[in-house]
Amino acid sequence: MRSSGGCGRLRAMADGVRKIYLCGPIMDAESESSAKDWRTRAKERLAGRFILLDPLRRNFRDREIDSANEIVDFDLQDVRDADLLLVNYSKPSLGTAMEVFYAGHDLGKFVIAFSPFSFADCSPWMVRFCTKILPDLESALTYIDRHFP
């Protein structure tokens, strides 16, 4: 969808093991398993070729202000550290949208999303700041395999 700067980003990633941030609903996920299962499948498929940055590795359960600040700071650091984002856009999520905007707009990262929404039903913001939106996780993983060998 958006292609500016792509070649430079791909060359920059070629120098070492690429990092992928697994971006998607957590607090507003339908269930704990819906936040976890797709990340587990992605890690199983991409392990060994990529470093996978999973925000679920940090176990913040309380809703204290300092924990909220830590969650955001750690997640933004992961976005900065990542070469690309794999985004679960299965439902609107404020945190997911903010991470995608930060990665795509501010940092110029390559953002690969998967979503059951038709193009007409996708948020224009997600369309604008995701490099590619595919119909499901398998398609997104295949895209990563093909374009980031």
pTM reported for the whole predicted model: 0.85
**Tokens encoding 71:** 């969650």
Dihedral angle at the C-alpha atoms of 149, 79, 25, 60, nearest 10 degrees?
120
Helix spans in the chain (H): 6-13, 32-46, 65-81, 94-101, 124-129, 137-147
Average pLDDT of the residues in 42-68: 84
**Residue 6 predicted with pLDDT over 70:** no
Check if the beta carbon of residue 18 is closer than 8 Å to that of residue 83: yes
Average pLDDT of the residues in 32-44: 92
Question: Which tens digits make up the pLDDT trace of 71-92?
Answer: 899 999 999 999 999 999 999 9
Q: In the CATH hierarchy, which fold is given to the domain comprising 6-147?
A: Rossmann fold (3.40.50)
- At 66, the pLDDT band (50, 70, 90 cuts) reads low
Angle at 113 between CA 109 and CA 118, to 5 degrees: 135
Q: What are the boundaries of each domain within the chain?
A: 6-147
**Percent of the chain scoring above 70 in pLDDT:** 85
